[in-house]
Amino acid sequence: MNRIIKELDNNNNILSIYFTAGHPKLEDTCKIIKNLEASGVSMVEIGLPFSDPLADGLTIQTSSTVALNNGMNSDLLFNQLKDIRKTVKIPLIIMGYFNPILQYGVDDFCKKCKEVGVDGLIIPDLPIEEYLKSYESIFKENNLLNIFLITPQTNKDRIKLIDNISTGFIYMVSSSGVTGSNNGFDSEQTDYFERIQNMHLKSPKIIGFGISDSKSFNEAIQFSEGAIIGSAFINHINSYGINGIRSFIKKYKN
């Protein structure tokens, strides 16, 4: 069974952490993953840095620039992850834009994901129709889940389509802005959460964007199976280094 599905079956309060591979230092990727698992995180999203990250706010954009300047790329990431499954058990997801994956070769990229133990991909700019037409079979061959995103602007028919084709969770973007742009949720966002909740979708939902403290995390899990924290985590390691990971996670686990 795919590790993401297993985790979703066993845990209703998923804490997923996003960070950019190769940031703050090139060799920090596996150290961060191991520290996150030891701190009790449910799953990890590894950001593949890209030079034009349109959906990302300043914090993640800056971390991507640092990682690229450090020399991070797809080959190096796979090399760093080659032995990760000797010690790490939690689900691992690569989140990135489609251009680097396409340049690498989608088939080869997915095969490498399977080889190193990656469980899923989040590719915000890969159109659903293109995925279904050209890449779905490749993902399935390599036991990879493709995680689709919905936003407050996604119409009901689109949401139902995504729900029908999803085999993992739906990434529920809390706002139409970029990552890291919010601090807590307003009434418009909670109305959106309630609207999606009332659709009674079959797929679990995990909320991302704007989760910056224990208050927003606890609000998010009232409407979903979990929440994703990215910018707040990156800001923390920028300030305190990777040795401060446990103290950061502790705020969300208590």
Looking at the predicted structure, is the pLDDT value of residue 248 above 60? yes
Domain with residues 3-253, CATH architecture = Alpha-Beta Barrel (3.20)
Handedness of CA 179, 234, 67, 26 (dihedral sign): negative
**Residue 206: strand pairing partners:** 171, 226
Q: Provide the pLDDT for residue 12.
A: 81
> Which range among 1-10, 176-185, 195-204 shows the weakest confidence by mean pLDDT?
176-185
pLDDT tens-place string over residues 23-82? 999 999 999 999 999 999 999 999 999 887 565 678 889 999 999 999 999 999 999 999
Q: What is the rounded distance in angstroms from the CA atom of residue 112 to the CA atom of residue 110?
A: 5
Q: Provide the pLDDT for residue 51.
A: 81
**Residue 122: strand pairing partners:** 95, 147
Number of residues assigned to the chain: 254
pLDDT tens-place string over residues 83-114? 999 999 999 999 999 999 999 999 999 999 99
> Where in the chain are the domains?
3-253
Q: Could you tell me whether strands 14-20 and 43-47 are parallel, antiparallel, or unpaired per DSSP bridges?
A: parallel
Cα Rg of the chain (Å, integer): 17
Handedness of CA 125, 219, 235, 75 (dihedral sign): negative
Q: What is the rounded distance in angstroms from the CA atom of residue 137 to the CA atom of residue 253?
A: 37
Q: Provide the pLDDT for residue 180.
A: 43
Q: Provide the pLDDT for residue 159.
A: 98
189, two tokens: 């966002």
Which DSSP string corresponds to 188-234?
A: HHHHHHHHHHTT--SS-EEEESS--SHHHHHHHTTSSSEEEE-HHHH
**Residue 227: strand pairing partners:** 15, 207
Three-state DSSP class for residue 242? helix
Mean pLDDT of the chain: 93
Q: Provide the pLDDT for residue 253.
A: 73
Looking at the predicted structure, is the pLDDT value of residue 141 above 50? yes
Q: Yes or no: say if 245 and 226 are a contact pair by the CB < 8 Å rule.
A: no
pLDDT tens-place string over residues 143-189? 999 999 999 999 999 999 999 999 999 999 997 654 444 556 888 99
Given pLDDT bands bounded at 50, 70 and 90, which one contains residue 7?
A: very high
Q: Provide the pLDDT for residue 58.
A: 85
Burial (0-12, 13-18, 19+ Cβ within 10 Å), 34: middle
Q: Which residues are catalytic?
A: 45, 56
Give the single-character DSSP code of 243: G
**Residue 17: strand pairing partners:** 44, 229
Q: Provide the pLDDT for residue 178.
A: 46
> Which range among 20-24, 125-129, 142-146, 214-218 shows the weakest confidence by mean pLDDT?
214-218
Q: At CA 74, angle to CA 249 and CA 87, rounded to 5?
A: 45
Q: Yes or no: say if 210 and 216 are a contact pair by the CB < 8 Å rule.
A: yes
Q: Provide the pLDDT for residue 98.
A: 96
Q: How many helices (H) and strands (E) in the chain?
A: 13, 9
Q: Yes or no: say if 236 and 244 are a contact pair by the CB < 8 Å rule.
A: yes
